[in-house]
Amino acid sequence: MLNTELIENLYAGLSKEQQQELLTLLFKRSKQTLSYFKRTKDITLSKLEVLADFFHMPLDYFRVGNTFKGNNVSGNNNQVGNVSVNTNLMLENEALRREIKALEDIVKAKNDALATKDLLIQTLMGKKEE
């Protein structure tokens, strides 16, 4: 069965342009939206392949109750273990990246404002001395 909540969370994390691109890939010229998946809960393999390709995930990733497993190689020898990546952690990580970017933009804007104030102070000090 299809994990529609996962698809909605991934979709919500996309920019408007990426959302439109995904809808175009999935539904071509149709007016369908992602609510299609909620209503049907049974989609064609071609649509599932488009989703998997778009998000760079295997097909099984979108199944209910499935955990995404990757391989982890550690140490000097080839010791391999399966590592489960929690979807919520990936979404939280992406949200934190967006928050960091927003904070960096705020710091840049404040630095620009400080530079402008410093320039104004220097200009006023120069006029005062004249």
Q: Show me where the domains of the chain are located.
A: 1-85, 87-130
- Contact between 2 and 84 (Cβ < 8 Å): no
Q: What is the pLDDT of residues 77-88, one digit of tens each?
A: 555 555 555 566
pLDDT above 80 for 108: yes
CA angle 106, 110, 116 (to 5 degrees): 145
pLDDT above 70 for 72: no
Which pLDDT band, with edges at 50, 70 and 90, does 61 fall under? confident
Residues 6+ apart with CB under 8 A from 49: 59
Which whole number is the average pLDDT over 10-28? Answer: 82
pLDDT above 80 for 67: no
Is this structure's pTM higher than 0.85? no
